[in-house]
Amino acid sequence: MSLTPTSRIALVTGASRGIGYATARALAKQGAHIIAVARTQGGLEELDDEIRKDGGSATLVPLNLTDFVGIARLGAALNDRHGKLDMLVGNAGIAGPSSPLGHIEPKQWTDVMAINVSANFQLIRCMEPLLRQSDAGRAVFVTSGAANKALAYLGPYAASKAALETLARVWAHETASTNIRVNLFNPGPIRTRMRASVFPGEDPMTLDTPEQAAEFILPMCAPNWTETGKFYDYPSRTLMSFREPA
Ligand SMILES: NC(=O)c1ccc[n+]([C@@H]2O[C@H](COP(=O)([O-])OP(=O)(O)OC[C@H]3O[C@@H](n4cnc5c(N)ncnc54)[C@H](OP(=O)(O)O)[C@@H]3O)[C@@H](O)[C@H]2O)c1
């Protein structure tokens, strides 16, 4: 791994496939050193091979993000090695069960909340001090239209993404006077394993690729991105504000 003194460090969760993989690869092409987090070693190694072919570098972190101690350890390791973090892409997520609420087991609920919400809370706790050390700390969390559509039969997923959105907006308010910018990204329907698992009858070839969506996450990670507490809606290519309460 060769890092120049000017290397920007980007932590991407869910980097073993799908939108996280494409975002990690695209950020590496721009020169960032990637901290790639997911459980699947094979997917992370494939990413590492691609990044190396492109002339970039990555550190692979096989980690279950429900492991709070593991996230804290990662924060400590990043502090020791780099002393800062420039970008945090909170992308990892699971769809959970497709069932009416009354048919969902409590463990299915807690599993979705653990990865889609609580892991991002622990990332915020452990990474904020490192993002503050950057001259332009940027955080992007990947949400879903399910949050405000309150889609039937995807209750835990919809509720978890609504919670994630509020968490990110709270953090944006708390960090407004710092160098940290916090935003949300809604990819809409994208050709990934998660999408295929929820909509098995859909022709994946009708959907945009993770690479296409990732191109729109990149600007939100850049030092010259100034907005905070906003929501980028990829299907409509629109940056939106949340409705502020009266
Ligand atoms: N695709 C869509 O149409 C769509 C639409 C709206 C929102 N989204 C959001 O986009 C994000 C990425 O989804 P995707 O479609 O790219 O799905 P995907 O292909 O299934 O990828 C999900 C990623 O999350 C990681 N992950 C899941 N559980 C994890 C855990 N416990 N610990 C660590 N990593 C974990 C997976 O890695 P491992 O399994 O290797 O751990 C994988 O890298 C999600 O937040 C999803 O809600 C997707």
50-108 pLDDT, tens digit per residue, is 999 999 999 999 999 999 999 999 999 999 999 999 999 999 999 999 999 999 999 99
177-200 pLDDT, tens digit per residue, is 999 999 999 999 999 999 999 999
Tell me, yes or no, whether 18 lies in a domain.
yes
157 is catalytic: yes
| CA gap 64, 37 in Å, rounded | 8
Residue 150: CATH number of its domain: 3.40.50.720
Both tokens of 135, joined, read: 């001259």
Tell me, yes or no, whether 101 lies in a domain.
yes
- Residue 61 pairs with which residues in a beta bridge? 37
Ligand 1 centroid distance, CA of 102 (Å): 25
Residue 60 beta carbon below 6 angstroms from any ligand 1 atom: no
Tell me, yes or no, whether 220 lies in a domain.
yes
Residue 39 beta carbon below 6 angstroms from any ligand 1 atom: yes
Model pTM above 0.85:
yes
| Residue-averaged pLDDT of the chain | 96
- Above 90 in pLDDT, residue 242? no
Q: Is the dihedral of CA 27, 94, 122, 141 positive or negative?
A: positive
CB-based burial, 211-245: b 16+ in 10 Å, e otherwise:
eebbebbbebbbeebeebbbbbbbeeeeeeeeeee
Residue 64 beta carbon below 6 angstroms from any ligand 1 atom: yes
122-154 pLDDT, tens digit per residue, is 999 999 999 999 999 999 999 999 999 998 999
Residue 14 beta carbon below 6 angstroms from any ligand 1 atom: yes
Q: From the alpha carbon of 189, which atom of ligand 1 is closest? A: 3
- Above 80 in pLDDT, residue 243? no
Tell me, yes or no, whether 85 lies in a domain.
yes
Residue 94 beta carbon below 6 angstroms from any ligand 1 atom: yes
Contact 213, 19 (CB under 8 A): yes
| CA gap 144, 111 in Å, rounded | 17
Q: Whose CA is nearest to atom 20 of ligand 1?
A: 194
Q: Measured between alpha carbons, how far is residue 50 from residues 4, 6, 36, 63, 216 in Å?
A: 20, 22, 13, 20, 20
Tell me, yes or no, whether 107 lies in a domain.
yes
Q: State the burial class of residue 179 (Cβ atoms within 10 Å of its Cβ: 0-12, 13-18, 19+).
A: middle
Ligand 1 centroid distance, CA of 5 (Å): 32
Tell me, yes or no, whether 3 lies in a domain.
no
Q: Work out how many domains the chain is built from and give that number.
A: 1
Tell me, yes or no, whether 4 lies in a domain.
no
Full residue range of the structural domain in which residue 85 is found = 9-241
To the nearest 5 percent, what fractions of the chain are helix, strand and coil?
Answer: 45, 20, 35
Q: From the alpha carbon of 40, which atom of ligand 1 is closest? A: 40
Tell me, yes or no, whether 2 lies in a domain.
no
Place of tokens 């309150």: 150
